[in-house]
Chains A and B, each alone.
Chain A
Amino acid sequence: MDAITDLINALVLLLNYVVVPGLSYGSQLALGALGITLVFGILRFANFAHGDSMAFGTMVTILVTWWLQARGINLGPLPTALLAVPVGIVFTIVLLVATDRFVYRYYRRQKAAPVTFMIASMGVMFMTNGIVRFVIGPNDQRFLDGERFIISAREFKASTGLSEGLSIKVSQGLTIVIAVLLVAVLFWFLQKTRTGKAMRAYSDNEDLALLSGVDPDRVVLITWIITAILATIAGALYGLDKSFKPFTYLQLLLPMFAAAIVGGIGNPIGAIVGGYVIAFSEVMVTYAYKKVFIYLLPQSLEPEGLLQLLSTDYKFAVSFVILVLVLLLRPTGILRGKVL
């Protein structure tokens, strides 16, 4: 009986510290990687400004959230930020479409090489990052309100009698639900609608799409609109779950690119698979397994160390290592995207 309780406690521990955080972080990375992969598949360049597009959308969301909170408007148990996200999306669409008009369109007309676009996107990245830090400042901002937990550790312990608690934060639950809904809508759009098919055709074979009468300007415009939606939602969910700091969003570029490439860049399903692969690797490699083994092993074998493979300070190294391995061993990614 004790052995079974110990096993359940160990599982709850893993669920609480690995599975739930992995799922929500993975969903955030997947949404970010989807934006990167769409731009890569359709506009054919690696968009380094994507992390800062997310930061910009989140910033607008936060400002509107504060404005709503100051007026006493809220969503009860849900975070007020959900009401502000649509405004964030609109501003981000304006930003991305404007940068396309003033920066990328010029290079498209020049038929510039992808590396030129990529470097231009780094310029856009610095500019966007500057705007964000100028408006909201470089510091941490919290904007989460409403209920904090769907299930809190204390309630869980009380109702199950286990010694380990499972907590699921509202922000984590929201992240997973919204990510699933958003991905479902995106796939329906790409697979079933006329415009979605035109985007896939343009990504597959640009010349033939033009010969079929697809309007390239429209495809580019819709790509930026979808990218803005994905970026703002991913950024806002990440900010609600952790906290908002402009520099963190710049750092998110690495795991997001890793996710897109590991899954197969240009392939939307790959971006999602890659998001979870990267997130779970990060969480699993940096988690200290000591307590799990205390439950599982007899007392005499109790581990002395933390049983942590890597300190959390090195979590970015994990995505980097996976990225390098995938590029060396399977450059098309898990689901055969394009080769960079």
Chain B
Amino acid sequence: MSVLSGRDMVGGYGGADILKGCSIEVDEGEIAVIVGPNGAGKSTAMKALLGLLPLKQGSVWFRDRELTDLNPQQRIAAGIAFVPQTDNVFTSMTVRENLEMGAFLRNDDFSDSIEQIFELFPALADKHAQLAGELSGGQRQQVAVGRALMAQPTVLMLDEPTAGVSPIVMDELFERILEVRRSGVAILMVEQNARQALSIADRGYVLVIGENRYTDSGKALLANTEVRRAFLGG
């Protein structure tokens, strides 16, 4: 039983359906990656899992609890954290305040968790009192991921976490994501850098126009000649 799964999801933003029967799942301690061409519905699939998109058909499950009719707030409270692709930090608040906002729903003492985030992203420890809006793109992404982790989520969803950052920063971010997986969190991400993302993925989904085209382990998809030719540029 996967920790989070969307089954046969159909839906869109009012007009034509963007998702046409797409299924995604991820389990604890696992990285699942959604890749595919532009307009395939990758981010939309993630938004459907979070409840930001009403489904016409299909269902969303958190372990054996059905989430389909819950709003995003209720799903977050259930243990799903989401890092949007853009506008994913509070620019007018300090790094520490951003992390505190991540722990907004927690009632326990979360100072340990802040220290853990600073261990995971040492660059943030030095800048804890700086406004997030003043940080570089890569550091902002770290704050964004840190904010999401502060909620101690069971599932962490990342929408193109490496969009717009340099290759070095990207490598480091993937490195950190692997570290987060080791702590048992289920990670689901949408990525433009398909090759690199699939190389760390336990599970890969290739979406094409709102449907699952290929589903396999990341390594198997990388080895699949058809996938490589059609989606990974040879």
Q: Given A201-B93, A201-B101, answer yes or no on A208-B151 (Cβ-Cβ < 8 Å).
A: no
Query: Are A208 and B76 closer than 8 Å at their CB atoms?
Result: no
What residues of chain B lie closer than 8 Å to A209, measured between beta carbons? 90, 101
Among B90, B97, B151, max chain A CB count under 10 A is at B90
User: Which A residues touch B73, using CB under 8 A?
Assistant: 210, 213, 215
Within 8 A of B (CB), among A153-206: 194, 197-198, 200-201, 203-205
- Report the bound CA distance from A201 to B76 in whole Å: 17
Q: Smallest Cβ distance from A98 to chain B, in angstroms? A: 25
Residues of B within 8 A of A197 (CB): 93, 97, 100-101
Known: A197-B93, A214-B104. A207 touches B151 (CB 8 A): no
| Interface flag for A328 (CB, 8 Å) | no
Whether A207 lies near B76 (C-beta < 8 A) is: no
Does any Cβ of B come within 8 Å of A212's Cβ?
Answer: yes
CB-CB contacts of B59-87 with A at 8 A, as 1s and 0s? 00000000000001100110001101001
CA distance A210 to B71 in the complex (A): 11
Q: How many angstroms between the C-alpha atoms of A33 and B70 in the bound complex?
A: 39
**Nearest CB to that of A200 among chain B residues?**
B93
Q: SS class of chain A's interface: helix, strand, loop or mixed?
A: helix
Q: By the criterion CB–CB under 8 Å, are A198 and B104 in contact?
A: yes
Task: Check A208–B93 contact: CB distance below 8 A.
Answer: no
Nearest-neighbor residue (CB-CB) of A206 within chain B = B87
B87 x A207 contact (CB < 8 A): yes
- Judge whether B77 and A205 touch: CB under 8 Å: no
Which residue on B lies nearest to A209, using beta carbons? B101
A212 and B93 in contact, given A205-B87, A207-B84, A207-B87 (Cβ under 8 angstroms): no
A211 at the interface (CB under 8 A from B): yes
Given contacts A197-B97, A207-B84, A208-B84, contact A213 B90 (CB under 8 A): no
Inter-chain CA distance A30–B220, complex, in Å, is 65
With contacts A198-B104, A207-B87, A208-B87 taken as known, whether A213 is within 8 angstroms of B93 at the C-beta atoms is: no
Chain A residue nearest in CB terms to B90: A204
The B-contacting residues of A in range 211-249, CB under 8 angstroms, are 211-215
Q: Which residues of A contact B91 (CB under 8 A)?
A: 204-205
Taking residues whose C-beta sits less than 8 angstroms from the other chain, chain A's interface range is 10 to 19
Set B72, B92, B93, B97: member contacting A211, Cβ < 8 A: B72
Against A, the Cβ 8 Å flags (1 = close, 0 = not) of B94-127 are 0001001110110000000000000000000000
Contacting A208 at CB < 8 Å: which of B77, B90, B97, B100?
Answer: B90
Judge whether A212 and B77 touch: CB under 8 Å: no
With an 8 A cutoff between CB atoms, is B215 at the interface? no
| Alpha-carbon separation in the docked complex, A16 to B13 (Å) | 64
B88 within 8 A of A: yes
Docked Cα-Cα span, A257 to B104, in Å, equals 33
Q: Bound state CA distance, A208 and B99, in angstroms?
A: 12
Closest to B98 in A: A201
* B72, B76, B81, B92: residue with the most chain A Cβ atoms closer than 10 Å: B92
Query: Is B155 interfacial (CB-CB < 8 Å)?
Result: no
What CA separation (Å) do A208 and B93 show in the bound complex?
13
In the complex, chain B residues whose CB is within 8 Å of the CB of A194: 104
Give the chain B neighbours of A204 by CB distance below 8 A: 90-93
Please name the residue on chain B nearest to A215 by beta carbon.
B73
Q: Which chain B residue has the least Cβ–Cβ distance from A214?
A: B104
For residues 100 through 115 of chain A, which have their beta carbon under 8 Å from a beta carbon of chain B? none
A140 to B151, CA, bound (A): 56
Q: Give B70 Cβ to nearest chain A Cβ, in Å.
A: 13
B residues within 8 A CB of A212? 76, 101-102, 104-105, 147, 151
CA distance A210 to B77 in the complex (A): 11
Q: Is B34 an interface residue (CB 8 A)?
A: no
**Which residues of chain B are near A210, meaning CB under 8 Å?**
72-73
Contact of B76 with A211 in the complex, beta carbons under 8 Å: yes
Question: Which of B72, B77, B82, B90 contacts A201 (CB under 8 A)?
Answer: B90
In the complex, what residues of B have CB within 8 A of residue A200's CB? 90, 92-93, 97
Tell me whether B89 is interfacial, beta carbon within 8 Å.
yes
CA of A215 to CA of B72 in the docked complex: distance in angstroms?
12
Give the shortest distance, in Å, between A330 (CB) and chain B (any CB). Answer: 18
Interface residues of B in 14-72 (CB under 8 A from A): 72
| Max chain A C-beta neighbours (<10 A), residue from B91, B104, B147, B151 | B104
A210 to B87, CA, bound (A): 13
Residue of A with least CB distance to B150:
A212
Known: A198-B104, A212-B102, A212-B147. 20 other contacts (CB 8 A): A194-B104, A200-B90, A200-B97, A201-B90, A205-B89, A207-B84, A208-B87, A208-B88, A208-B90, A209-B90, A209-B101, A210-B72, A212-B76, A212-B104, A212-B105, A212-B151, A213-B104, A213-B151, A214-B101, A215-B73
User: Could you show 23 A-B contacts with beta carbons less than 8 Å apart?
Assistant: A198-B101, A200-B90, A200-B97, A201-B93, A204-B90, A205-B87, A205-B90, A208-B84, A209-B90, A209-B101, A210-B72, A210-B73, A211-B72, A211-B76, A212-B76, A212-B101, A212-B102, A212-B105, A212-B147, A212-B151, A213-B104, A214-B101, A215-B73
For the complex of A and B, the 4 pairs showing the least CB-CB separation, nearest first, are: A213-B105, A204-B90, A213-B104, A212-B101
